[in-house]
Structure 1
């Protein structure tokens, strides 16, 4: 249908790889921040509590505010950090796969998405933020409910669910920041408080910023990574012969992770607005035009990845599953580490792993959440 397709609700879908990459990297394309929202007529959508709350977080900020916050974080998951996290992640994977194996032994099959895909990211990010383990399940549940507000066209009922979840996330994470201010330690949140205390004279502003960062990092880590882990296993198991081939060639695990991200990305689209009059894919777009960057379509552009509908571990292709430009995913390296750890142990421990029936997906367009992926061995 072309690189730029008019959307029925207004704006455009960007489908071609190069056009999507251009939108993500070109600084003249902005995220739909408060300034843009204030110029819209759909006030119910943009003034919803959940939308407003998320619009204060990193992924809805433009320069210079975005630049300042991003720089304050530094390299969140650099080499040393990942090296320190790797043994704990491997141990987590081992424990989760023990439970998976037990459920398969008792019931003949088990839900990999619920037992492993959802649990590994909350264990990882929860430990990194020093969140009490007994709170993990609650945070996971309200995060799944909150992301309705980040959908392309959320319904009133979805916005209501998201509002309730957003208020609960606000209560939890503002409380967490207050506790760390009262009892500072060597944890990440305490470090962010110290960083922003040095940047701001207003402690209330500091605590608000740290709360927003903590909530955003948690939501982004849980929803996208959980989806990517289950999607990776599903993609591999439905590709004939690939599981056995990869078991014999574990040196290609990283290649398999990248191909899974290309083949079925956990985030299907992201929205941008034109900061000025511009031309994209030969089409003139006036300032404030919204476009939706279609990650899945771009990754399957045959001009970038030949035979795009074939799952090919040795492809050495390219993808934009983690976005690009100033808003490139902060947790990309951590997500890859978790995927590598999970796939490596799955291949060793479950040589005959297979999917039982079709996976169940959440009825969403942005986060491609796998609600259930039943497997047997």
Structure 2
């Protein structure tokens, strides 16, 4: 139908790899921030509590505010940070696979609730110094809050997200209060020191800190959990693929990237036109929304030959982590978690198989594997 296709509402779908890349990296395409929302006729949609809360986070900010907050984080997961985190992630994986092994002795086990959802919260939680007993609470409210980031959320979904958003604010506000009172040698304490020095208004500094901490936490949970579940499901989906990868561990990183290309955890990202423009030959008026379809871009045959085949040896390219100033902050961490998990799984469970196919939540933007039964 073309690289740019009119949506049933006042927006466009962007499907081609190069055109999606142009939107993600181009200065003429902005995140739908408050300034844009205030110019829209559908005020009810943009005035929803959860929507407004997410509009304050990094993913919905534009320069100069986005630049300022992003610089305050630095390169969150640079090479040295990943090296420091590797032993911790390995320990988390070992513990979770011990639990999986215990459950498999009795038959089928749910890989999602046992491993996929637990590894990201264990990793980011220990990094930020979040108490482990709070992990189930954070997972629950994150699952509910994400409705606000869907393409066309219903009123009931926005109500669920609103309640989850209020709970997130209460939790992370209290976490910051406690960390101020009892600073430690952790990244959150470092952020507090930075913003106390950079912003003389303590109330404003606390608001920025809340948004950063909340966003970094929830952004790393649903997406990475879905990556881990999809990875296991796809690699076990064809006879012999699991065994081949166990014999060729040098292809583990390539396998992770092929999973990211084939079934991206986020399917849609939205930008708005900064000015009247032309995109792939299609006139797009200022303020018009364009929905970048990551899955379609990754399956563009002009970029990846035979794109609907899952091929570990492909060495293809993808846009799953986005591009430009909004490139995913946690890309290196997600790869570390996936690589570490897959390495240990192949060694410990050579006969692993999918017993119950993955069940997905009914969503358009954020993929979520709700359950997937495995057995040996």
TM-score (ref. length: structure 2): 0.99
The CA deviation at 1:268 is: 0.5
Q: Which region of structure 1 is more displaced relative to structure 2, 238-247 or 113-122? A: 238-247
Q: Which region of structure 1 is more displaced relative to structure 2, 190-199 or 298-307? A: 190-199
Runs of 4+ in 1 over 6 A off after TM superposition: none
Q: Secondary structure at the match of 1:258?
A: helix
Match of 2:86 in 1: 86
Q: Secondary structure at the match of 2:105?
A: helix
Q: How do residues 1-377 of structure 1 correspond to structure 2 at under 5 angstroms?
A: 1-106=1-106, 108-377=107-376
1:165-212 Cα deviation digits (max 9, x unpaired): 000000000111111122222211111111111111101111110000
CA RMSD of aligned residues (A): 0.8
Q: Secondary structure at the match of 2:13?
A: strand
Contact 1:301 1:308 in 2 (8 A): yes
- Distance in 1 (CA, whole Å) between partners of 2:144 and 2:238 is 31
- Distance in 2 (CA, whole Å) between partners of 1:135 and 1:351 is 33
Contact 1:271 1:291 in 2 (8 A): yes
Contact 1:144 1:223 in 2 (8 A): yes
Q: Secondary structure at the match of 2:311?
A: coil
- Distance in 1 (CA, whole Å) between partners of 2:323 and 2:254 is 20
- Distance in 1 (CA, whole Å) between partners of 2:183 and 2:91 is 28
The CA deviation at 1:307 is: 0.3
Q: Secondary structure at the match of 2:220?
A: helix
- Distance in 1 (CA, whole Å) between partners of 2:304 and 2:59 is 28
- Distance in 1 (CA, whole Å) between partners of 2:239 and 2:265 is 22
How many equivalent residue pairs?
376
Q: Secondary structure at the match of 1:373?
A: strand
Q: Which region of structure 1 is more displaced relative to structure 2, 238-247 or 221-230? A: 238-247
TM-score (ref. length: structure 1): 0.99
- Distance in 1 (CA, whole Å) between partners of 2:66 and 2:300 is 30
Q: Secondary structure at the match of 1:272?
A: strand
- Distance in 2 (CA, whole Å) between partners of 1:73 and 1:262 is 27
Q: Secondary structure at the match of 1:366?
A: coil
- Distance in 2 (CA, whole Å) between partners of 1:254 and 1:239 is 19
- Distance in 2 (CA, whole Å) between partners of 1:279 and 1:9 is 19
